[in-house]
Amino acid sequence: MELKRTAKATETRMPHVLVLGAGFGGLSVVQGLRKASVRITVVDQRNHHLFQPLLYQVATAGLSPAEIAAPIRSIVGRMPRVTVMLGEVSGIDTARRLVQFRDTGIRQLPYDLLVVATGACHSYFGHDEWVVLAPGLKTVEDATFIRRRILLAFERAETETDPAEQARLLTFVIVGGGPTGVEMAGAISELARRILARDFRRIHPSLARIVLVEAGRRLLPAFAEDLSAYALRALKRLSVEIRLGAPVTSIEPDCVRLGEERLETRTAIWAAGVQASDAARWLGAEADRAGRVKVTDHLTLPAHPEIFVIGDTALVRDAAGRPVPGLAPAAKEQGRYVAHAIRSRLSGRQTQVFRYHHLGNLATIGRRSAVIELGQLRLTGLLAWLLWGAAHIFFLIGFRNRVVVIIDWLWSYLKFGGGARLITGIKHQQQ
């Protein structure tokens, strides 16, 4: 008993690292400090870590939520000095080194070192009234809500007697031509044309109209132009209509307007922009237009070396001065750097500045095609799709055996199990 009390007292004297957010960045910090002499508290609004790159598959009924999420407690369960708490941040007192929370049993937590990795949400570029009409895709709740809208559209079209309304129900408009928009458009097309085609009697799901809208001049602007062109051709083969150079001017309950063009639809999906969390406001920090906190080249808040800000929450620049993209590999890389920096600081060593190493861009187009850009290597088609799947498994955090996971996912993705097509929460459906 005395030994236990001594161990507890020793642990209490250890530096306390408070990690806000259990995404790729936050959990990479925690895992990197596994053997460090620190106490760690992880706080998140949800009890699970989410593999966001595959959210679109939940939204299009390809996978169930449990296949792309894992409980945070199970991920850190074998780390005795890690405590997990549910909570929503309301403010940060940098002078007193306290984080305040709302609607939780614990009102505030002190810290010696703070890691802010609270991610980002949707940005509607000043049109927040579009939120309920064109949901975005950031959480499991978003994905199941969009899945419900898509599947209900087909169900309602089956019983609709007005041809004009039936056409609206069978038209799906995705706003944003980045990876999420491209992946959503391809997945909805395959859902309609290959999966639901024989399930209905009065309508023909294969005749559904899928429109992908992009304000810029090409799809996948972060990719090389030849890969953007390939994605355009691949989507057209899936009968997806593309509108380039077409900024959205209005979203209404029954249409999306592109200037003078009116796209009649009951289902619009937003994939056009993101806004960082409120971290800049909590910290009283300088931020860019997307709300990302401007950090030093050590990923710390200026004048506050005890506060690290990473992932989608931070404006981090690469060696060329360009903003580091908001990708899972980038967040993990920053998380590993912060863990190393904390270990070095505790041992009295200096830490070099953060240097981002871009691992490449990936996007899937349907079930057997993808585009990959890894430095000078550019791949398309089935081989790219297989590498896309392998890369996603490689970046898993805390999931069970990766070989089992990839088999389960690939089987579910290719077979398209019926369980993922359940319509739930209809009482809460908003059209």
Residue 177 and residue 236 in one domain: yes
Residue 237 CA from chain centroid, whole number: 27
Q: pLDDT of 367-426, one tens digit each?
A: 788 999 987 889 999 888 888 877 776 666 555 555 666 666 667 666 655 456 778 776
Residue 333 and residue 372 in one domain: no
Q: pLDDT band at residue 179, thresholds of 50, 70 and 90?
A: very high
Residue 222 is part of which domain span? Answer: 128-272+361-428
Q: pLDDT of 86-128, one tens digit each?
A: 999 999 999 999 999 997 677 899 999 999 999 999 999 999 9
Q: DSSP secondary-structure letter at 264?
A: E
Domain end among 346, 373, 399 = 346
Q: pLDDT band at residue 301, thresholds of 50, 70 and 90?
A: very high
Buried b (16+ CB within 10 A) or exposed e, 283-321: bebebeeebbbbbbeebbbeebebbbbbbbbbbbeeeee
Residue 296 and residue 166 in one domain: no
Residue 246 and residue 115 in one domain: no
Residue 100 and residue 196 in one domain: no
Among the ranges given (161-175, 190-204, 261-275, 330-344), the one the predictor scored with the smallest mean pLDDT: 190-204
Domain contains 171: yes
Domain end among 288, 315, 346 = 346
Q: pLDDT band at residue 30, thresholds of 50, 70 and 90?
A: very high
Residue 104 and residue 19 in one domain: yes
Residue 249 and residue 154 in one domain: yes
| CATH code, domain carrying 249 | 3.50.50.100
Distance of alpha carbon 150 from alpha carbon 423, whole angstroms: 10
Q: What pLDDT was estimated at residue 6?
A: 46
Higher pLDDT, 3 or 79: 79
**Looking at residues 137-166, what average pLDDT do you find?**
96
Domain contains 71: no
**Looking at residues 222-231, what average pLDDT do you find?**
94
**Looking at residues 320-346, what average pLDDT do you find?**
94
Q: Which residues pair with 171 in a beta bridge?
A: 209
Sheet with strand 88-93: strands edge to edge = 88-93, 98-102, 108-110
Q: pLDDT of 234-247, one tens digit each?
A: 999 999 999 999 99
Domain contains 74: no
Higher pLDDT, 312 or 103: 312
Q: Are 257 and 250 spatial neighbours (Cβ–Cβ below 8 Å)?
A: yes
**Looking at residues 219-231, what average pLDDT do you find?**
95
Specify whether the backbone of 69 is left (phi greater than 0), alpha (psi in -120 to 50) or beta.
beta
Residue 229 scores a pLDDT above 80: yes
pTM for the model stands at 0.90
Domain end among 315, 346, 377 = 346
Q: What pLDDT was estimated at residue 7?
A: 47
Residue 193 and residue 222 in one domain: yes
Higher pLDDT, 32 or 386: 32
Q: What pLDDT was estimated at residue 284?
A: 96
Residue 6 and residue 100 in one domain: yes
Known catalytic residue at 183: yes
User: Which residue of the set 183, 190, 214, 373 is catalytic?
Assistant: 183
Q: Are 54 and 65 spatial neighbours (Cβ–Cβ below 8 Å)?
A: no
Q: pLDDT band at residue 430, thresholds of 50, 70 and 90?
A: very low
Distance of alpha carbon 253 from alpha carbon 430, whole angstroms: 10
- Closest C-alpha to 217, from 235, 192, 243: 243
Domain contains 50: no
Q: How many structural domains comprise the chain?
A: 2
Identify the three-state secondary structure at position 210: strand
Distance of alpha carbon 258 from alpha carbon 168, whole angstroms: 16
Domain contains 219: yes
Q: What percent of the chain has pLDDT over 70?
A: 89
Residue 241 and residue 144 in one domain: yes
The first and second tokens of residue 353, run together, are 């500045």
- Closest C-alpha to 32, from 68, 86, 82: 82
Domain contains 7: yes
Domain contains 64: no
**Looking at residues 28-41, what average pLDDT do you find?**
96
- Closest C-alpha to 53, from 416, 390, 421, 429: 390
Domain contains 97: yes
| CA distances, 199 to each of 62, 165, 195, 267 (Å) | 16, 20, 8, 20
Across all residues in the chain, what is the average pLDDT? 90
Q: pLDDT of 275-288, one tens digit each?
A: 999 999 999 999 99
Residue 231 and residue 368 in one domain: yes
Distance of alpha carbon 395 from alpha carbon 376, whole angstroms: 21
Q: What pLDDT was estimated at residue 307?
A: 98
| CATH code, domain carrying 311 | 3.50.50.60
Q: What pLDDT was estimated at residue 356?
A: 95
Alpha helix stretches (DSSP H) within 137-289: 140-159, 163-169, 179-190, 225-237, 279-283
Q: What percent of the chain has pLDDT over 90?
A: 74
- Closest C-alpha to 63, from 423, 429, 408: 408
Residue 111 and residue 249 in one domain: no
Q: Are 90 and 84 spatial neighbours (Cβ–Cβ below 8 Å)?
A: no
Q: pLDDT of 68-77, one tens digit each?
A: 888 999 999 8
Q: pLDDT band at residue 26, thresholds of 50, 70 and 90?
A: very high
